[in-house]
Amino acid sequence: LATSWLLLRTASLWWAPAAATFGILMVLLVWAVWRISAWHRQANRDALTGLGNRLRFEQSLQQECDAARRSGKPLSLVLIDVDHFKRHNDRHGHQLGDRVLRDVAALIAAHARRPRDMAARYGGDEFAMVLPDTPTSGARQVIEDLIADVRALPAPAAGDDSRITLTIGVYTRVPDSQLHPHHFVEGADAALYRAKANGRDGYAMDGA
């Protein structure tokens, strides 16, 4: 009986502090998980546009290249350049230049609409889209729609008759053991430069 009374008394004395401590630990655990998740998102997102950053792009391209190699389905990489961005920036200032980048980024994200599609800010005024299971015909439809939507954006500033346009390079392949992510980047970059040489505000494709 004395032993039972002692256990009950001890439990009564320690139950409240134990419950409080457990509650505090749970709050700290939830906060830590939330912070780690936030840090992870920040580490993979471009602060200005909200798109994936260069690291996230490289991870996605590697993953989708591996997946396409296994499935035998085509993978398309799209590299996008905002035409004459420096001119807009110099003429109207960095705040307006940032707004142009955000507007373009929002349209790019809207066209990378499937769950595995990935849109990223590749660097400066360059963007990229990784389009899994996408042949040249599908990639062409995506970029033609994107180019048309960007052309429809309003002029960057009142009284400015210049418009925002894009130049795009696309590289589409079914990767094999000899084809790696850097080959997709090189191929899309070469297509992008062909499109620039053709006068910009358009695209070039390299598909097989």
Annotated catalytic residue, options 46, 83, 117, 125? 125
Contacts made by residues 114-118, CB under 8 angstroms, sequence distance 24+? 116/64, 118/52, 118/56, 118/57, 118/60, 118/64
Strand partners, 127: 80, 121
98 catalytically annotated: no
Sheet of 202-207, strands arranged across: 118-123, 126-132, 75-82, 166-173, 202-207
Angle between helices 54-71 and 2-44 (to 10 degrees): 90
Indicate which residues carry an active-site annotation. 125
